[in-house]
Amino acid sequence: MEYEIVIGLEVHAELSTKSKIYCSCTTEFGGEENTHCCPICTGMPGVLPVLNKKVVEYAVRAGLATNCTIADYSKQDRKNYFYPDLPKAYQISQYDFPLCKNGYIDIETDGKTKRVGITRIHIEEDAGKLMHDEWDTGTLVDYNRCGVPLIEIVGEPDLRSAEEARAYMEKLRSILQFIGVSDCKMQEGSLRADVNLSVRPVGQKELGTRTEMKNLNSFRSIVRAVEAEAQRQIREIESGGTVVQETRRWDDERGLSVSMRSKEEAHDYRYFPEPDLVPIVLDKEWVEGIRASLPELPDARKKRYVREFGLPEYDAEILTSSKVLSDFFDDAVKQSSNAKAVSNWIMGDLMRILKEKGMEVENIPFPAGYLARLVGLIEKGTISGTIAKKVFEKMFLSGKGPETIVKEEGLEVVSDEGALTAVVRKVLDNNPQSVADYRKGKEKALGFLVGQAMRETKGKADPQLINKLLKEAMDKA
């Protein structure tokens, strides 16, 4: 039997406001444990929350950038549950009147575009962090993260594979970065996803029973979790069992998910309107002002790259998958006349080295202008394409400018006829057979001799000049 996988993601993004959602404590990541806290975010009795206006603005930005309808009336609710990282024993969230509804984003997989629905986006506060590993005799709690503003982006169950889930997360991350509402650092937990997944026989209309895996914080773990959980559910069904609706924990090290608890329903949380906060009523003009301030979004930028620079769709997609990378490209193109060449260097050598070093695009160790200047050196004929690859690698490792590297290492193209004539003489003397072949009309022999001369000069000779000198010498004799 063939199965279809049905996936919906609930994505949490920490907003990059300066202060927390209901108090003026800093949202900065890290810091000494329990120092970014006050009586409000640690839930002392009698304190009152005050909503940070910037949180609403950022959530509206995210809603507009994902084609949502912005609610002119929404409210905040208490979601009650007990857990040691939640000192109030309730989280202020939004229940039945979220800030944003009915949006979508477009994703690309295998060259095809697919529209994925966004059910809603609401604001809420983050919880603290438990640390189980540092202490043998107990668990420690750090409340620094309590009250850091979050948006939860609830997606429709429109995704059908691990690849689509990955593409969706990447597109969301890219959009949130472009509009500047979250740094989306997955390794720091500022972007994380809950994966809702079920399987059903191909052709079946009704959905299978779903499980939820919480807090996946890397693209890799999302892909692996989707694949493993789908297989687990299929095995369960094929062996005559049934899938249990539950929350599972993905264990990335062991590559499997384990049952945590039976899935809770909304009524388990005893939601009720937050009595300490008034409803959020948005002024239309204010919302339109935010819409007008939105920057060029990834899809628009991608189209511009294809239209203006003639880049292939695929390349434009990769370049706009991250704001940092896209800005790097834009910056380099501004200083170069050859956008295509700049793109090729990024898509080829830059991506390769980053991958080899296990580095992110945020860590590119030289400014975009260096790449523009490297492209310029090739165009001017100062260095050959082969040498440029060497220079690029050195630029990456040392952070030095391309001209400095070329000068220090003596890598300029040798186009001095006098110097090259001696090289040509030597190559002809060493390869009498090839010379004879050439004279018999074997054009291939010339290519071989050019190769020898290039080797002799360690790739620095001007190949066209070498070609000309070799021909002249052999035709003359």
CB of 302 to Zn ion, least distance (A): 40
Cα separation, 376 vs 394, whole angstroms: 17
Half-sphere exposure of 70 (CA within 13 A, CB side): 24
Complete edge-to-edge strand list for the sheet that includes strand 3-14 = 69-70, 100-109, 112-125, 149-155, 3-14, 191-201, 211-216, 246-251, 256-262
CB of 192 to Zn ion, least distance (A): 22
Nearest to Zn ion of 20, 122 (CB atom):
20
Nearest to Zn ion of 40, 453 (CB atom):
40
CB of 26 to Zn ion, least distance (A): 9
Cα separation, 76 vs 55, whole angstroms: 13
CB of 123 to Zn ion, least distance (A): 17
Nearest to Zn ion of 23, 64 (CB atom):
23
Nearest to Zn ion of 23, 184 (CB atom):
23
CB of 280 to Zn ion, least distance (A): 20
Nearest to Zn ion of 145, 302 (CB atom):
145
Nearest to Zn ion of 35, 398 (CB atom):
35
Sequence-distant (≥ 6) Cβ neighbours of residue 3 within 8 angstroms: 199, 200, 201, 202, 230, 234
Nearest to Zn ion of 90, 396 (CB atom):
90
Nearest to Zn ion of 22, 392 (CB atom):
22
CB of 27 to Zn ion, least distance (A): 10
In the complex, which residues of this chain contact Zn ion (CB under 5 A)?
23, 25, 38, 40-41
Nearest to Zn ion of 129, 291 (CB atom):
129
CB of 25 to Zn ion, least distance (A): 3
Nearest to Zn ion of 149, 298 (CB atom):
149
For 207-242, letters b (16+ CB in 10 Å) and e give: ebbbbbbeebbbbebbbbbbbbbbebbbeebeeeee
CB of 252 to Zn ion, least distance (A): 32
CB of 48 to Zn ion, least distance (A): 12
Nearest to Zn ion of 35, 259 (CB atom):
35
CB of 38 to Zn ion, least distance (A): 3
Nearest to Zn ion of 44, 300 (CB atom):
44
CB of 126 to Zn ion, least distance (A): 12
The answer to whether 444 and 438 have CB atoms below 8 angstroms apart is no
Cα separation, 147 vs 42, whole angstroms: 8
Backbone dihedral angles phi then psi of residue 251, each to the nearest 5 degrees: -100, 100
Nearest to Zn ion of 23, 325 (CB atom):
23
CB of 37 to Zn ion, least distance (A): 5
How do beta strands 73-74 and 77-80 pair? unpaired
